[in-house]
Amino acid sequence: MEDLKERTYKIENAFLSPYACKSQNAKPRDRQEEPCCMRTEFQRDRDRIIYCKAFRRLKNKTQVFFSPEGDHYITRLTHTLDVAQIARSIARTLALNEDLTEAIALGHDLGHTPFGHSGERILNKLAPGGFKHNEQSVRVVEVLEKDGGGLNLTPEVRDGILNHPKSYTASTLEGQCVSIADRVAYINHDLEDAIRAGILRADDVPKSVTSVLGNSSRERINTAVLSVYRNSVGKNQVKMSGREEEASEKLRAFMFERVYLSQTAKGEEQKAERMLTAMYEYFIKNADKLPQTYFQLTEKYGAEQAVCDYLSSMTDRYALYTFNSLFVPRGWQFIDEE
């Protein structure tokens, strides 16, 4: 039977940029596997991420607003899909590898905590070695998935996941697409959520931002993608031009001042901190009460790491359930005697 992925190789060689990461040049996995006759290695990675448990849990993890009641607020899953869409749009305009870009985007937040970035800041204070969600995302795909077997992803995908924050630099242009897309996505959809929640009004956004980026998410995302294209096409880089980058940073600073670090957000963060701290201290003292999968990790990685693995894996709902189970008294049930 014809090796169908050879078609993909031919298409990539014909149409992709010389700076793209070609699928046929994918680096070896840590554990050698029988190749697939249909899918490239990056396509296989994308499929593995979509079908893993950590990806499914993203639907019940906070993006900004804790356990929102409305159906239309952004969750960690919808954020991830948003990032994948924007990153693929950037990769397509620059003739980069969309399959690699999508795999990185879909996996970039697998290690995120419950309660959004508040949860990350809290675990970073609690854990002796600190906690970073990008490093935890790599740990999820290397160690935690498949009961300790990991997903055995390609080095290029793991590199992009690790290096998606702004302060890092991915080794592939596809990874750099995801880094930019992540920032474009969360600033814009978090702004829409804040307006939906009544925390902001659309006309609160500084004119110095809207005059450059636009007045709607659609306009701002289009502006960002076009800016990256104009500044990066035919070059060994993926960067937004200076004018749009400056306006984006102004919007990000505005969001931190008015939303992320607002009194409303900080008040909820204090509640989350009390919950996560209590559970962290409980499981450190009672590691045998961890689920078996995580208890087994204590022997190799220590209790602190295993507890962080468990807490960071929780959805918002499961964190609340676990806290209540451990610390909130249950009412007695009386049986009438005849």
pLDDT in tens, 294-337: 999 999 999 999 999 999 999 999 999 999 999 998 876 666 55
Looking at residue 269, its pLDDT comes to 85
State mean pLDDT over 157-170: 97
Of 292, 273, 294, 282, which is closest to residue 322 (Cα–Cα)? 282
C-alpha distance from residue 152 to each of 23, 29, 45, 93, 186 (Å): 16, 6, 8, 30, 28
What would the pLDDT profile of 2-57 be if each residue is shown by its tens digit? Answer: 578 999 999 999 999 999 999 999 999 999 999 998 999 999 999 999 999 999 99
Region 264-269 average pLDDT: 75
C-alpha–C-alpha distance, residues 20 and 8, integer Å = 14
Q: 242: which 2 tokens?
A: 């200076």
Query: 146 vs 66, 149, 150, CA distance in Å?
Result: 28, 5, 6
Residue with tokens 């990008």: 134
In the chain, the amino acid numbered 270 is Q
The H helix count followed by the E strand count for the chain is: 16, 0
pTM of the predicted structure, to 2 decimals: 0.95
pLDDT of residue 73: 78
Say if residues 126 and 280 touch (Cβ distance below 8 Å).
yes
